[in-house]
Amino acid sequence: MPLNEIAASLYAWDLHDEGVDHALDVLASRAEVNSAYLVGLMHKEKRPLHARFYPHNPVRRYYTPEDSRAYWIPDPSKYGRIAPMTSDRDFLKGTDWLQVLIDGARARGMRTGCEVSHTVIDAALAREQFSDVLQRDVFGNIVGAFEAVEAQRALPCLNNPDVREYLVGLFTDLASNYDIDYVQTCLVMFGAGRDDGGTHAFGPSSWQQLLSVATGGCFCNACGDKARAEGLDWNAIVDEVGHLARLSKRIGLEELHERQLLDEANYSESTLLIENDAFTAWLQFRKRSITELFATVKAALASTGRDVELRYNTYMASPERAGLDFKAAFQHVDSVRESDYSDQLGTPEGVATKRAKLMKCRRALREDQKLIAALGVRPNATPETLRGSVKAAVDSGCDGLSLGHYDGATMERLDAVREGLREWEGQERYWQVLAED
């Protein structure tokens, strides 16, 4: 299939610092970009992410955003108990950055969209005002994303009715009030737990990683109520997952002893699953919850009466540990952006990793659903790996590319996208009859 859509992401501060016209003209002329989206609800993450400093921003060397702010003007009628926060920074507040991007993109005939990124509630505010909606581990601790517990991050529980209402509000707000073609999201799902390392000589084995899911989310009241309503024995789940979480974290002398036996045994992922019925039931309960969330969001977009595509943006190597089963959840999406950036390893092995992830997504999608391959157009990638990534996209039945991210891109990397498209004949214009001399 032709790689018809070449998308690129922009942040509100990119638009402020470089100007929407300049950024879009660079992307279109160098990398054939014909689709631009705003990271419209952005989490707390230093930009640029991988390089220490921006390669081409004329105003600032780097930027540290506020936590989980919306960069459009939210419509209050779409929200209930929880509504999005907007920026307090002087240079950003008061401007509808999504409209700025849409105006620039439409003037160039581009597709356009908005991303709801990893987290949707400021963690400090959530801990203060909405602690009841936050994910809890089996010990009752608030579950965060990405960082250590001490960083005080916080994830809302996707089974909480107030959180569901908020998410539906975000998607319907964007689809109802803006001329966009797609809403993309890489919302963090259930906390996937983490293996603290212990004494693994070669990193945790697969059963140890699966065991660590027992230390993730969620055990909030909303999850307990929902599980009981589905006929599950929640007390048995709490008991069994609690035991597994103590094994994972080596809490208590009996559990430490048992863990040491397991570490020296020929134990496996399948043994763990077959042995622990309640743990397996809990994993399936999380999967049903996430699949239902996808269906709810898809229905919310449809309810606006506008034809707005739901695009899921992957973010994890093992999404099933967060409750996301591609085959089930992707029934409810229109397209998937596989956000692998392994091209930034600068090696053929990195490109092979990307190809494998694309194959996994393509296998889970129907013929009418689009697969968009992300490319890391940043300094750690090389022009060679980027051209190889275009080949990986062609090999795996993709429908487009999506560049991450303009703020950290170099011109040479952007040029490599255009060159890779020509080298691997990624678009219909390369499939024509030769003109006679």
Binding site for Zn ion (CB under 5 A): 157, 159, 218, 220, 222-223
CA dist 139 and 252 (Å) reads: 14
- The nearer residue to Zn ion, 7 or 163, going by C-beta atoms, is 163
Structure tokens given for 207: 């059963």
Q: How far is the CB of 218 from Zn ion (least distance, A)?
A: 3
- The nearer residue to Zn ion, 185 or 289, going by C-beta atoms, is 289
Buried residues in 316-339 as b, exposed as e (16+ CB within 10 A) = eeebbbbbbbbebbbebbbbbbbb
Q: How far is the CB of 319 from Zn ion (least distance, A)?
A: 18
Q: How far is the CB of 163 from Zn ion (least distance, A)?
A: 9
Indicate the DSSP class of residue 204: -
Q: How far is the CB of 9 from Zn ion (least distance, A)?
A: 30
- Cβ neighbours of residue 16 under 8 Å, at least 6 residues apart? 59, 91, 92, 95, 97
- The nearer residue to Zn ion, 222 or 281, going by C-beta atoms, is 222
Buried residues in 216-240 as b, exposed as e (16+ CB within 10 A) = bbbbbebbbebbeeeebebeebbeb
Q: Is 4 helix (H, G, I), strand (E, B) or coil?
A: coil
Q: Is 253 helix (H, G, I), strand (E, B) or coil?
A: helix
- The nearer residue to Zn ion, 218 or 398, going by C-beta atoms, is 218
Stated as kind and residue range, the H or E segment containing 280 is helix 277-303
Q: How far is the CB of 237 from Zn ion (least distance, A)?
A: 12
Q: How far is the CB of 323 from Zn ion (least distance, A)?
A: 11
401 touches 393 (CB < 8 A): yes
Q: How far is the CB of 390 from Zn ion (least distance, A)?
A: 41
Indicate the DSSP class of residue 47: B
Q: How far is the CB of 120 from Zn ion (least distance, A)?
A: 15
CA atoms within 13 A on the CB side of 306: 18
- The nearer residue to Zn ion, 121 or 374, going by C-beta atoms, is 121
- The nearer residue to Zn ion, 226 or 249, going by C-beta atoms, is 226
Q: How far is the CB of 248 from Zn ion (least distance, A)?
A: 19
CA dist 133 and 154 (Å) reads: 10
- The nearer residue to Zn ion, 134 or 375, going by C-beta atoms, is 134
76 touches 223 (CB < 8 A): no
- The nearer residue to Zn ion, 281 or 381, going by C-beta atoms, is 281
CA dist 50 and 241 (Å) reads: 36
355 touches 312 (CB < 8 A): no
- The nearer residue to Zn ion, 235 or 260, going by C-beta atoms, is 235
